Amino acid sequence: MSYIEVGKENSTSIHLYYEDHGSGRPVVLIHGYPLSSASWEKQVPALLQAGHRVIAYDRRGFGKSSQPTTGYNYDTFAEDLHELVTHLKLRDFTLVGFSMGGGEVARYIGKYGSKGVSKAVIIGGVPPFLLKTADNPEGVDGSVFEGIQKAVAADRYAFFTEFFKNFYNTDVNLGKRVSEQAVQASWNVAAIASATASLACVPTWHEDFRNDVAKIDVPTLIIHGDADRIVPFSAAGQRTAKLINGAELVVIKDGPHNVAWTHADEVNNALVNFLAKPAAKGQASTPKTKAVA
């Protein structure tokens, strides 16, 4: 198992767990809340088969990474990612972020620029800005996030059970696109995450990424399910695609939040095809939208 040290909390080192497989152009996979890098298991084989080097890591507080009580903000998450990229000496790499991971993609480019980054992919991501404010009327009311924080603080295990129902839209997809065992496996991963991280990450979901998104100047793919109950398509993916010149938008029909699992074939096809296209800075000014049934 491979780890990189990204900081310290008192006498304890903070380590990120990562896996590094294959060869070819690097693809860095950034998972969503409250999962780990293991959640990419349906994408890794497809990417390896397509000839890519695949790096997947666990965000601090989750999976096999350290569980500090500090650093649960997007500036630190981006710094952690930058430490990994620097450690591995990556060049010409693609950043792929799901849900919260979409925030890392945006903040990384917003903070460090796109040097070395060839492409960006955001799947069901939280950018550009989920919180409803006077200048962001399309956002989600703040009381929703406050309610989630209270639920996590009261009993995070019970919260996760309800959360995953909407994560996979189990009322529609259970036994068809996702099994009870897969949902249970997600719950198991969430249960071993840091209690501190589980709570502290919730307010980061409504970080304002509008300035970060404006700095994305590499070919970008946005994938989002139109039945996403966690991160609404109209408040997130649809808007992000409009803010990035030439972004390619793939809408997964009836797709829940975690389309990377329930609609893995559609996501993998879009991802592999996008990565196969020549990468060049400066995109066409007209967004391209595709609906995938």
99 is catalytic: yes
Task: List the catalytic residue out of 15, 212, 228, 263.
Answer: 228
pLDDT value for 61: 98
Q: Tokens at residue 120, please?
A: 């960006």
217 is catalytic: no
Residue 281 to residues 48, 52, 114, 265, 270, Cα–Cα distance (Å): 25, 20, 9, 28, 20
Task: Assess whether the previous peptide bond of 256 is cis (omega < 30° from 0).
Answer: no
In order of their start, the domains of the chain are 2-292 (3.40.50.1820)
pLDDT value for 281: 54
Gap between the Cα atoms of 252 and 293, Å rounded: 6
Mention every residue, 6+ apart, whose C-beta is less than 8 A from residue 136: 129, 208
Task: List the catalytic residue out of 99, 118, 186, 198.
Answer: 99
SS3 8: strand
Task: List the catalytic residue out of 15, 224, 257, 263.
Answer: 257
Residue 86 to residues 27, 79, 81, 215, Cα–Cα distance (Å): 14, 10, 9, 21
For residue 189, report the phi and psi dihedrals to the nearest 5 degrees: -65, -45
The residue written with tokens 């997809």 in the block is 173
228 is catalytic: yes
Per-residue pLDDT of the chain (293 residues; tens, 9 = 90+): 799 999 999 999 999 999 999 999 999 999 999 999 999 999 999 999 999 999 999 999 999 999 999 999 999 999 999 999 999 999 999 999 999 999 999 999 999 999 999 999 999 999 999 999 999 998 999 999 999 999 999 999 999 999 999 999 999 999 999 999 999 999 999 999 999 999 999 999 999 999 999 999 999 999 999 999 999 999 999 999 999 999 999 999 999 999 999 999 999 999 999 999 987 654 443 446 677 75
- This prediction has a pTM of 0.95
pLDDT value for 286: 44
Residue 221 CA neighbour count, 13 Å, CB half: 26
